[in-house]
Chains A and B, each alone.
Chain A
Amino acid sequence: MKNEGSNIYKFLSEFKVTYIYLLIFILTLAPILFPIGIPITTTQDTKDYYAELKTLGPDDIVLVSWNIGFDALMELKAGAYVSMRAIIASGAKMVHVFGHPEGPGMFPLIFGDPNKGTVGELSKTMEDHDYTEGDDYIVLGYIMLNEASVVSIARDFHNYVIVDWKGAPISGTFLDEIEDPADLAMIIDFSAGFFSEAIVRHMAMDFDTPMIISSIGVSIAQNKLFVDAGYVSAILGSTRGGAEIEFLAGQPGIGLQAMDSFTIIHYFYILVLILGNLAYFGYERHRDMRRTALR
């Protein structure tokens, strides 16, 4: 019996990691293709984030900073779509800046580009609300390269930025109303870490501008500190936050769809963690001890 037991531990210990990766892919894909509808709950953080979005009105101007590339967009897109839809529906104007070189390529996937005939995820929403580039939103492009450039946007906006990402002058647009971040109703940052902290320190902190952050999972702990310190009003955390805000807004989409895979992978990970520890204590550890005795 003892030998049989140790065989199980040996099997677990020597189980090829490649098969675990394959299982992860299968467990991720299966619920996407065949949704289950596992229920979720909403956290206070997401409720606070959504409540902040609901305070916006037609006279407001919002700075949207995209401190993410294509990869982090995969994690934050559910929350980004709902956030942008809420702003568009409120009638508030948006000014978009990028803190990642992939920003200019990523943006048309969300907002589309009418000049090139590109359709984005929000094209229909914008069409419904007659929300157009130039009048309702302006894209300044990749202008956040480092902390100094964030300070330049905050302190010397109209000297630092003269044209938008397509070379059109920004004078004569709604951006004439902006002298510094104090004139903004809100800052929304989609954060993978890059210059989010600089925005918090040089805009939200220095000018008391309300700020909310939609953060990738890795950066939640770091960004949460700014919520505790009072500089950031709320955080939307990762894909989970995206699903919660979809639920709150009554717009079920990719976020809620992702939760099935998300939940199953998490349970699978816990299982692997337990089995891995069993394998270690039941086989690997004894093998190491036997080796030590032989030496």
Chain B
Amino acid sequence: MTNGYEFLLFILAIITTWAMYLQLYGKPNPFYSFAQATYMGASFGLDLVVTFLFLYTSGFIPITKGDVFMALGFVLGFATLLRLTKRYAWVSRIPLAIALGTGLGLGIRTQIFAGFLSQIMSLITPFAVPSDAMTSFYNISIVLSTLFMLSFFLYTVQREGPIGISSQIGEYALYIGLGAYFAQVFMGRAGLLVGYMQNITTPAWKTPYSLGIGVLMLAIVIAMDRYGILEKLSD
């Protein structure tokens, strides 16, 4: 088992979990409204504390150790807040411009290789791999699918003749790709659900509380719906 404080936390977690899932009931309900507001408040508070700690450890402490350059970051950060004033709002554009320029510079330098050149290079593979028919098939299908799909995105020519056929095949390849992507998304979401269900039923002593609270909350929502007070009490 566990101590009283942890048990209380567990019960609170279970209530908010089921409250969130009760959105699936299909109508607004007070449990969901409560859980939503709690989540928003808690995540904002967490963000605030964690970001403040980051500023302290990565900004303030280096300054106290003599890295005065770090103070520039605080000055720029403060300048961003000047957006709230009418008179000095223009100053806030300076840190924004620096952040934008830095981000762009850092991103473009590496994106050219990782997102473009290397991706093209990865397509340059041998079509026929001796004694490995599957790899040969994969290599050929990847290269052909890429070419067909690229022809689907040609907007400056009429899709007729060979280009038309190629773009049509490209369109089907795109649908197959979207199907695979959708399946991966479904797998991921199912993984989240299964993982959380394991969390609320492991160790075994949690199971009766988890299921009991879930059934009770669902029953309350159904009863409230029956008596017409469900939506009145919701946000």
Contacts and interface: CB of A to CB of B under 8 A. Distances in A.
Interface of A: 16-18, 21, 24-25, 28-29, 32-33, 71-75, 77, 101-105, 141-143, 145-148, 151, 159-163, 165, 167, 197, 200-202, 205-206, 216-218, 220-221, 225-226, 228-231, 237-240, 254, 257-258, 261-262, 265-266, 269
B54 A238 contact: no
Interface of B is mostly: helix
Nearest to B69: A159
A269 to B, nearest CB: 6
A148 B122 contact: no
Contacts of B114: 197, 200-201, 205, 226, 229, 231
Contacts of A74: 191-192, 195-196, 198-199
B234 interface: no
Interface in B197-235: 197-199, 201-202, 207, 211
A215 to B, nearest CB: 9
Given A218-B184, A254-B195, 8 more contacts: A143-B57, A145-B54, A165-B57, A217-B191, A221-B181, A231-B118, A262-B191, A266-B186
A142 to B, nearest CB: 5
A32 B197 contact: yes
A217 B196 CA distance: 15
B194 A265 contact: yes
A213 to B, nearest CB: 14
Contact of A257 (B24, B57, B119, B198): B198
B81 interface: no
Contacts, number: 160
Max chain A CB contacts within 10 Å: which of B26, B65, B110, B114? B114
A239 B191 contact: yes
Contacts of A254: 195, 198, 202
B58 A258 contact: no
Interface of B: 21, 24-26, 43, 46-47, 50-51, 53-54, 57-58, 61-62, 65, 67, 99, 102-103, 106-107, 110-111, 113-114, 118-119, 121-122, 180-181, 184-199, 201-202, 207, 211
B203 to A, nearest CB: 12
A235 B45 CA distance: 34
Contacts of B50: 101, 103-104, 142
B103 A146 contact: yes
A269 B186 contact: yes
Nearest to B107: A147
A193 to B, nearest CB: 11
A143 B54 contact: yes
Given A28-B197, A143-B58, A239-B194, A201 B187 contact: no
Contact of B46 (A25, A101, A159): A101
Contacts of B65: 162
A205 B110 CA distance: 8
B207 A258 contact: no
Contact of B191 (A75, A162, A201): A75
A156 to B, nearest CB: 11
Contacts of A226: 114
B67 to A, nearest CB: 7
8 contacts: A18-B24, A28-B194, A141-B53, A162-B61, A197-B114, A217-B189, A221-B184, A238-B187
Contact of B67 (A159, A200, A265): A159
Contacts of B113: 201, 205
A238 B191 contact: yes
A160 B113 CA distance: 26
Contact of B190 (A17, A18, A265): A265
A226 B47 CA distance: 30
A2 B65 CA distance: 84
A237 B99 CA distance: 34
Given A167-B57, A229-B122, A258 B187 contact: no
Nearest to A254: B198
A284 B99 CA distance: 52
B201 A29 contact: yes
Max chain A CB contacts within 10 Å: which of B47, B188, B191, B207? B191
A205 B122 CA distance: 14
